[in-house]
Structure 1
Amino acid sequence: MRAPLSWLREYVELPAGETGRDVAAKLIDAGLEVETVERLGAGLKGPLVVGKVLAIEELTEFKKPIRYCQVDVGEANGTGAPQNIVCGATNFRVGDKVVVVLPGAVLPGDFAISARKTYGKVSEGMICSAAELDMGEDHSGIIVLPPEYEPGADAVELLELVDEVLDIAVTPDRGYCLSMRGIARETATAYGQQLRDPALLDVPTPNAQGFQVNVSDPKGCDRFSARVVTGLRPEATSPLWLQRRLQKSGMRPVSLAVDITNYVMLELGSPLHAYDRSRLDGPITVRRATPGERLTTLDGTERKLDAEDLVIADDSGPIGLAGVMGGGNSEIADPEQDPESGEWRGTTEVVVEAAHFDPVTVARTSRRHKISSEASRRFERGVDPEAAAAAAQRTVDLLVLLAGGSADPGVTGFVTPHGPHTIKIPATHPGRVAGVGYARETVVHHLLQVGCDVYGQDELTVTVPSWRSDLTDPNDLAEEVIRLEGYENLPSTLPRPPAGRGLTERQRLHRRVGRALAGAGYTEALNYPFVGQGSFDQLGLSQEDSRRRTVTLVNPLSDEEPSLRTTLLPGLLAALRRNDGRGSQGSQGGLALFETGLVFLPTGRETRAARLRVDARPADEEIASLETALPRQPLHAAAVLAGPREQPGWWGEGRPSVWADAIEAARTVARAAGAELTVRSARHEPWHPGRCAALHVGGPDGDGEGTLVGYAGELHPRAVKALGLPQRSCAMELDLDAVGKAGGGVVPAPRVSGFPVATRDVALVVDESVPAARVETALREGAGELLESVRLFDVFTGEQVGGGKKSLAYALRFRASDRTLTADEASAARDSAVASAVERTGAVLRGAEAPAQS
């Protein structure tokens, strides 16, 4: 909401010399979010005056229209002689009043004006457009003023070019601040001044002569005021002061009737709509739409209506979406002048609508039809229902004043009776919430400032004002007292947690894994937990894949992603695509991202969760019931890679990311959890069938299956193409809860020995079908406690080892914690390891194979 300071001063007596920044500081202290204070006309220096066009000479020797004009600027130039000005605009004629900037002036943007020769003529100044004066973005033509202004008059004051505008980000609970009335109320409170409420108008009582209105859905529309104004002059235009206030508030002037409804909406916060009475067919009806009905809205779009849409209709059908946007079939006609008679044709009779619509209904209609209008923004956040009649009266007054109309004596007023909303609150409650002792008089004073009526002594009965629909319970009232007392006055106190409590084991595991992956060169990417079936299609998941069974949200943020994720890959791969498209690179040259987060696996028992109390801890039964209604939510870890894993340089050649790097990322996670992974080849979407590994934990040995906890490898080319990823992208995903359970929750610190290591290398020939992990497990168990580590450093196949065979070369490191190993001890441990591998995997020590038969 943009609030011009000059407009704000009409409702609040601000101290002399108070600037926009001063007001912004006060409003920020009161809890409003003032984003910027824009200084209009900063750097503007006159003379900038009204001029009358006396003569126009068309310069035809140029490719574009150029006009040499004589303009009367009165005594502003010191001589009284006309100014000669070159201008390229064609939207004015002799006798028109225009805005002229004379030599010596400076326009916004530090644009100095001087007399200069152009197009073969000396131009003594400039005739200005709205954009050149920073009044808007309209470059199409210069400003043509109404005829009543005298040449030489100060245009800076006339056009209100110097002002300050506060740009306020209105949060959803402060809908009343989407109006000058609401902002003025907060300003008056902040300065301790009285508010001159623009809604305090004499409103006539509804009578039977008013325009006929039928409300068939009182829940969707609990108030409806209608007024008729006749005898409007079609040629009447909005005065400059009205246009400037709209422009400063971020709205574009359109026509007088529309400008007045927009002005009153900005002033009072109550959206209005004006209908051309001659285009209405019968009485107005407020009802739900009939399925299949269509309406062409003011933006020219034909829309198919839903049965939940609340519409304004006449006998011909819908003429507007209630609280969102009017229809084109009843809009105010643009005025036209008959070229022969000179008479003006256009709207002469207007029906003014001022109503109050259900916020939820308006929000759903706005979202359903993808329309976000000024009216819908206000109705969604809560509009003062009591202001509807005053807004209608204010509109009628302005139409009579500015368009020469006559107010019809008929007044339509539909009201669904509602009692005032009252809240009982102990006088000490705000102090208990804030941790500060507030006297009863302080609490009552601030509640009265907000607009509440307060009765009682120790137990207060508070009647909430109609414009504060967000005040629903005692804590809301406590918040109002606290913010008006000043958040800066609250003491800073640290909470005192009970002794012996800290991070849970799951939280510690989460942190360890994040640090480990970050240390391995991965960058954390946090993604929204929402997916759609389209994401699963891109991954190439079959229709029977369990990951397609999702929990669907009742009120999703996006219709394209209405479900909760069952895998981290869609969001993480989308982040990889965005970063690759923007040329982002990691510290090692390629892209390496990771995420740890919850996935949501349906159990079939999900229901709408019950609302729990917030003033005390819920009962165990309530918590158990809530947990039962929720999906299963295991913690997962995933990583994705693309591009070079190691950059080339003076140190040597680089290498691209490959499937083995994804597996190593999974091992990094497992090590952080204190678990050990067993890797086996597998087929699982969206991975490449020949470069996919199934990851297990908890197997008793290399032959045991253990628990499947995830997959890693290179993505399938079809998935890479569908997702728009770099070629040969890789990914891994693990069930972190399962990995942590296998790790036991404790990661032992490494033992550091001061004795030297003994290294032995062994090369074993096995069948190609034997997994390397199975051989490694056998070596570990056979080597005994002296073994420090086993590392596979070479895999070889060829004629030398025979068909269907492969050679696996391992480096074994032996070390004792209390002595230096002898060569015999190291060799004996190696021999024991080899013997175990021979017995359990059928391995043969390379070099000890039977000689080939000749």
Structure 2
Amino acid sequence: MRVPVSWLREYVDLPGGVSARDLAAALIGAGLEVETVDEVGAGLSGPIVVGRVLGIEELTGFKKPIRHCSVDVGAANGTGEPQSIVCGARNFAEGDLVVVSLPGAVLPGGFEISARTTYGRLSEGMICSASELELWEDHEGIVVLPEGFAEPGADAFALLGLRDDVLDIAVTPDRGYALSMRGVAREAAALYGTAFRDPADIDADGAPGEGHAVEVQGPEVCSRYVLRAVSGFDPAAPTPPWMKRRLALTGVRSIALAVDVTNYVMMETGQPLHAWDHAKIRGPIGVRLARTGERLETLDHVKRTLDPDDIVITDDSGPINIAGVMGGLATEIDTDAGPEAERGSAQVLIEAAHFAETHIARTSRRHGLSSESSRRFERGVDSAVQVAAATRAVRLLAELAGAVVEPGYTHVAFDGAAPAPIVIGAGHAGAVAGVPYSRDTTVARLRQVGCTVEEEGDLLRVTPPTWRPDLTDPNDLAEEVIRYEGYENIPAIPPRAPAGRGLTPGQRLRRSVGRSLAGAGFTEVLSYPFSGQRDLDGLQLAEDDDRRASLRLANPLNDDEPLLRTTLLPGLFKALARNVGRGFPDVALYEVGQVYLPRAGAAGTAPMPPVDRGPTPEELAALEAALPEQPRRVAAVLAGAWEHSGWWGEGRAAIWADAIEAARIVGRAAGVELRVAAAQRAPWHPGRCAVLSVADGDAERPVGYAGELHPRVVQAFGLPARTVAMEIGLDLIEAVRTAPSAPEISTYPVAVQDVALAVDSGVPAGDVEEALRAGAGELLESVRLFDVYTGEQIGEGRTSLAFSLRFRAADRTLKAEEITAARDAAVAVAAERTGAVLRG
């Protein structure tokens, strides 16, 4: 909502010295999101005045029509003599009042006006168009002011509002009242404690029940419906400059007087209106839900098929409006006045209604029509302002177009539209804020909002005003008291955690894993937990792969991603592709998050417990049973250079071993040792994939996979070639990890023995390493593979694996005999289990 401050001041007396930015700060403090304060016309300066065209000389011999004009600008030019101005526009004539920029003026964009010779004549200024002054959107040419607007020489800055401050407010869904000058003015009046003049405080001065016949289906569709009419309306009557200017400042384009009046009253009061050509209405008007198969051509020339959930306005011909969203083309008011003798014969019917918010919201989204009217209806409008708004509109039509207001009007209202009282404790607001607000403060603030407050001992019976449908419970009322008293006045007291409570083991594990991966050079990302069939196909999953068993969302945000993810990898792949596409080729990302796996035997749809009470234990159990399993996992993806080249030496690209090392980092952070073995699993390359396992008693439990991605996966997600990734289950690791113990630190020296073993090429290095560990005994401190060799010297089909064995005792310095015995024992077990042969 764009709020011109000059217009706002008509309804509230702001204290002297309060600037637009001061007002914006106050509104922000009260909870309204003022995004910007636009200083409209800040680029204008110098003499810009009203002038009257005295004479026009048509110049010939040029590529386009040119006029040399004599313009009376009064005493604004210092001489009182007519001003000579050259102009190319054709939409004005002798005797018209226009806007003139005299030499010395500066127009938007830094365009300076000066006297100069052009087309062979002296031009002492410029006759301005609306776009040149940034008044409003207009492509017809020069601004022609109505007769009697002002005398020649009058300053145009004040007359046309060339300079103004405009607050741009992002109105949240719960504050629909702020989508009007009336609502914002009421807020400002409450904040500054000044008088508020309600623009909707209007006497209808007519007889209800004597207007156009109406039949409303019921309060579930429309709780209040008002029609007022005028006759003798001149369709050619222009919209006055002051109204066009105010509409432009609020972001509304001027169309024609009847439409402009309805938009003006909507911006003023917050009540959307619609204007019909009364002569085009056939019979009584109906307000009902649409019927299957009904169609309507709307004002945007689109023929729309209506839904049975749409509220429509009808006459004997069928639907003529999609209520609260857009009017029909057939009943549009013609802006072509026709012959002058026929002017003044049109009849206009004004509609003001209170439609059901949810219907309007669904209709707007269903048809892809978001209008200024629908934005207000779906947020909730005042349920008692319809008569006042319609009366305000017909009076403006009478004032500006010579129309006559019909004395009778239609007013259909159902009982129950008034808000119900809310009982609240006098100290409730203070209890919520932790600030002791007095009873008088609470009552005064609620009355400033517009509530009716009845005091009953320690309780207050509060009836919210009709313009605040968002006030429905005691906490809503407490918020009103708190925000007017000032959020900044609530002391900041950090909560104190009870002794003995801290992070759970799972939380500590996740933090440790995140810190370890970040320290290793990975960047954390958070992906949406949604996926689609295209993602699963891109992973090259088999049809019977358990990761294809996904839960489908009932109302997905994106039709392409209607499933809950069963793996973290697609989200990481998309983040990687986005970074690479933005010019970052070397990327290492990780994510810790949940996946969602269908629970065996669970119901397909979660039950919906009632909202008027808390769920019973049985209902909670049913809800729990319907929830999917949500194990937590960690995944990482790498592409590009893992080590950069520079003066320190050559770099290298990330390879499958780096993905395995990322998994080992997670294992070390969790305090478990991951065992690595060759495997095949999508989306990894069959020959460059490893299964990651942990010891679970005497067995090994697989917890994840790591390696290089399959080329088809790389192509499907648009990833760099040779991208590597890993994914492991944190919950699986947490289930087998033991309580951490402090490491034993020996003061005795370490002994290092290197062994090179020749094995068949199909023997995994992890199996050889495990055999060495088993044979070396308790003196072995660590094993590290530091070299892999294949070639003629080792023989075809054979591989040489070189390991570094570190031996140390906690209580003594090892003797050479002990070290040799341990090494030989390790080699012997490796030979027995894997067929390894010690190389000389």
Q: 2:655 aligns with which of 646, 655, 658?
A: 658
How much does 1:95 deviate?
A: 4.2
Three-state SS of the structure 1 residue aligned to 2:314 is strand
RMSD value, Cα = 2.9
1:488-507 aligned at under 5 Å gives the runs: 488-507=488-507
Aligned amino acid, residue 288 of structure 1: L
Three-state SS of the structure 2 residue aligned to 1:132 is helix
Deviations 1:137-158, CA, capped at 9 Å, x for gaps: 6577443322433332211111
- Whether 1:814 aligns to 2:807 is yes
Preserved CA contact (<8 Å) 1:335 1:344 = no
How much does 1:621 deviate?
A: 6.9
Separation of aligned partners in 1, 2:790 and 2:127: 86
Pair 550,802 (structure 1): closer, same or farther in 2 beyond 3 Å: same
Equivalent pairs: percent with the same residue? 61
The equivalent of 2:768 in structure 1 is 775
1:700-849 aligned at under 5 Å gives the runs: 704=699, 706-744=700-738, 746-748=739-741, 752-847=745-840
Preserved CA contact (<8 Å) 2:232 2:344 = no
The equivalent of 2:115 in structure 1 is 115
How much does 1:57 deviate?
A: 5.5
The equivalent of 1:850 in structure 2 is none
The equivalent of 2:82 in structure 1 is 82
Pair 521,299 (structure 1): closer, same or farther in 2 beyond 3 Å: farther
Aligned amino acid, residue 448 of structure 2: Q
Separation of aligned partners in 2, 1:329 and 1:710: 66
Pair 349,624 (structure 1): closer, same or farther in 2 beyond 3 Å: same
Q: What's the TM-score once normalised by structure 1's chain length?
A: 0.91
Preserved CA contact (<8 Å) 2:760 2:799 = yes
Pair 763,699 (structure 1): closer, same or farther in 2 beyond 3 Å: farther
Preserved CA contact (<8 Å) 1:235 1:344 = no
Three-state SS of the structure 2 residue aligned to 1:633 is coil
Aligned amino acid, residue 280 of structure 1: I
Deviations 1:591-627, CA, capped at 9 Å, x for gaps: 112211222223233514547899xx99877765543
Separation of aligned partners in 2, 1:147 and 1:538: 71
The equivalent of 1:187 in structure 2 is 188
Separation of aligned partners in 1, 2:145 and 2:390: 29
How much does 1:727 deviate?
A: 2.9
Deviations 1:199-246, CA, capped at 9 Å, x for gaps: 111236774442233322531322222222222101112111111111
The equivalent of 2:351 in structure 1 is 353
- Whether 1:227 aligns to 2:224 is no
Three-state SS of the structure 2 residue aligned to 1:385 is coil
The equivalent of 2:397 in structure 1 is 399
Preserved CA contact (<8 Å) 1:297 1:328 = yes
Pair 684,92 (structure 1): closer, same or farther in 2 beyond 3 Å: farther
Deviations 1:352-380, CA, capped at 9 Å, x for gaps: 22111222222222222333221222122
Deviations 1:442-492, CA, capped at 9 Å, x for gaps: 221211111111121212211121111111111111121222222222222
1:85-96 aligned at under 5 Å gives the runs: 85-96=85-96
Preserved CA contact (<8 Å) 2:182 2:270 = yes
1:88-487 aligned at under 5 Å gives the runs: 88-118=88-118, 121-136=121-136, 141-149=141-149, 150-203=151-204, 207-335=208-336, 337=338, 348-418=346-416, 419-455=418-454, 456-487=456-487
1:456-605 aligned at under 5 Å gives the runs: 456-584=456-584, 590-603=586-599, 604-605=602-603
Separation of aligned partners in 1, 2:63 and 2:543: 65
Preserved CA contact (<8 Å) 1:674 1:740 = no
Three-state SS of the structure 1 residue aligned to 2:774 is helix
Aligned amino acid, residue 652 of structure 1: G
Three-state SS of the structure 1 residue aligned to 2:574 is helix
Deviations 1:44-102, CA, capped at 9 Å, x for gaps: 32210122344556666666665544433222111233333344545445544322111
Deviations 1:240-284, CA, capped at 9 Å, x for gaps: 111111111121111111111111111111112222334434433
How much does 1:555 deviate?
A: 4.3
Which shifted more, 570-579 or 343-352? Answer: 343-352
Three-state SS of the structure 2 residue aligned to 1:173 is coil
Deviations 1:177-211, CA, capped at 9 Å, x for gaps: 11111111111111112321111112367744422
The equivalent of 2:639 in structure 1 is 642
Preserved CA contact (<8 Å) 1:73 1:80 = yes
Preserved CA contact (<8 Å) 1:688 1:713 = yes
Which shifted more, 152-161 or 303-312? Answer: 303-312
Which shifted more, 710-719 or 362-371? Answer: 710-719
Counting matched residue pairs gives 834
The equivalent of 1:852 in structure 2 is none
How much does 1:748 deviate?
A: 4.8
Pair 678,610 (structure 1): closer, same or farther in 2 beyond 3 Å: farther
Separation of aligned partners in 2, 1:347 and 1:826: 114
Pair 632,310 (structure 1): closer, same or farther in 2 beyond 3 Å: farther
Three-state SS of the structure 2 residue aligned to 1:649 is coil
How much does 1:159 deviate?
A: 0.8
Pair 569,323 (structure 1): closer, same or farther in 2 beyond 3 Å: farther
Separation of aligned partners in 2, 1:301 and 1:139: 25
Which shifted more, 440-449 or 802-811? Answer: 802-811
Separation of aligned partners in 1, 2:610 and 2:815: 71
Separation of aligned partners in 2, 1:303 and 1:681: 60
The equivalent of 2:683 in structure 1 is 686
Preserved CA contact (<8 Å) 1:333 1:347 = no
Separation of aligned partners in 2, 1:840 and 1:626: 52
Pair 84,580 (structure 1): closer, same or farther in 2 beyond 3 Å: farther
Preserved CA contact (<8 Å) 2:207 2:407 = no
Separation of aligned partners in 1, 2:464 and 2:795: 90
Aligned amino acid, residue 323 of structure 2: A
Separation of aligned partners in 1, 2:35 and 2:341: 48
Three-state SS of the structure 2 residue aligned to 1:389 is helix
Contiguous gaps of at least 5 residues in structure 2: none
Separation of aligned partners in 2, 1:498 and 1:132: 66
Contiguous gaps of at least 5 residues in structure 1: 848-854
Which shifted more, 790-799 or 498-507? Answer: 790-799
The equivalent of 1:851 in structure 2 is none
Separation of aligned partners in 2, 1:740 and 1:724: 34
Which shifted more, 634-643 or 527-536? Answer: 527-536
Preserved CA contact (<8 Å) 1:334 1:346 = no
